[in-house]
Amino acid sequence: MSANSLRPMANRRRQRGLSIVELMVGLVVAMLVSIAAAGSAMMFTASQRQGIGVGGSGIGAATALAALKNDAALAGLGFFGDSRYLCNRLALSVGATLHSDGAVFTPINITAGDDGDTIDIVYGNRIESGANVLLASASDGTSAEVLSLLPAGVGQALLLAPATPGTPCLVRSITGVTASTDTTPQVLTFGADGTHNQGAFTAAPTFAERDRATLIGALSWNRYRRDGNTLVLERPLVNDDSVVLTRNVIAFRAQYGIAAAGAGSTTLEQWVDATGGFAALDAATLPRVRAIRMGVVTRSPQREKPNAGGDCEASLDKPQLFGVEVEPDVADWQCWRYRVSTVVVPMRNLVLGLR
């Protein structure tokens, strides 16, 4: 047989391709590899989701505390002068709504509650709020004559305060400004259409000559509290709506950092809850406050799977805030991760205002 006659048979063998057995083996191997790859991808995706959830929860808590820190650092601006706290009580209205009808008042206040603490922070937004001027004459709350020039404008808020604590402070909106002359003082008018001029108080405060006036500018009153599993911000002077700052919050607490009782004590000696003698700050306890600290405990948004034995190992111990154990909001708390975030804020306006 010649070589030429063998060549077509060899070509047929080379073009034959895979047998059915080889094809089936290849499909089985490919399927096993695909199953293994899919399992790994699912585990990676779940792990990635868990990491993103835990990280996002921590970032949310840190961001909320950063905003709260900046807010708390301004507390009290405009309410201190001449080394005294001017406003043990406050008369404040927005429109016809009375927000404080001569009630006891402090610009920073922690209220303890079963569902977490509530923090109220009040301050003015003008740099001039750190100083006050004398009234040139008595005021009934409809106008004020001031001995020193104030850079006041229509629409800004002004605080009238007694020279010695007793009469409530009064917040008024400026509706007119009459410039001073060589012989007459600057006159600020508080018309009936002003934002803070419309409330009918039980006992409208009046002020004597040489009482105090402070330019507030825009008055801010912010309230932070836990609502269910969210930390929210409320603005009582604006509306009743709340803004969610961060979610999955299982604890929110705050404490006062106080100096020892007695004149001359300036250093922060201990942290106290807003209970007992500090449940409501007053003229005796407010001067002892040097700082506040706030803490948030957040839970991861995703539950982690138990181990091969059916036990959860995400958390071995319950979280603690300021040395006190926090009770999680889920029965299987070991299956969740927790993050504790805290911040300390010096009360600079309070300390400097009373120095």
Query: Which residue in the block uniquely carries the two structure tokens 């009934």?
Result: 140
Say what the pTM is.
0.82
**Helix, strand, or coil (residue 279):** coil
Task: Please report, for residues 42, 79, 80, 84, 334, the alpha-carbon distance to residue 162 in angstroms, rounded to integers and kept in the order given.
Answer: 69, 11, 11, 11, 57
Tell me: the pLDDT tens digits for 272-316?
999 999 999 987 898 899 999 999 999 999 899 899 899 999 999
Give the DSSP H or E segment for 25.
helix 20-72
Q: What does the pLDDT read at residue 44?
A: 47
Flag whether pLDDT at 226 surpasses 90: yes
What pLDDT score does 257 carry? 96
Residue, of 354 and 23, whose pLDDT is higher = 354
CA angle 193, 196, 201 (to 5 degrees): 105
pLDDT, tens digit, 9 for 90 and up, residues 176-208? 999 999 899 999 999 999 999 999 999 999 999
Here the tokens at position 320 are 């603690």
Q: How far is 190 from 142, CA to CA, in rounded Å?
A: 5
Eight-state DSSP code of residue 335: G
CA distances from 15 to 5, 10, 21, 24, 27 (A): 17, 9, 17, 19, 21
- Give residue-wise pLDDT tens across range 83-140: 778 788 999 999 999 999 999 999 999 999 888 999 999 999 987 777 889 999 999 9
Q: How far is CA 25 from the centre of its chain?
A: 63
pLDDT at 264 over 70: no
Residue with tokens 């006050």: 132
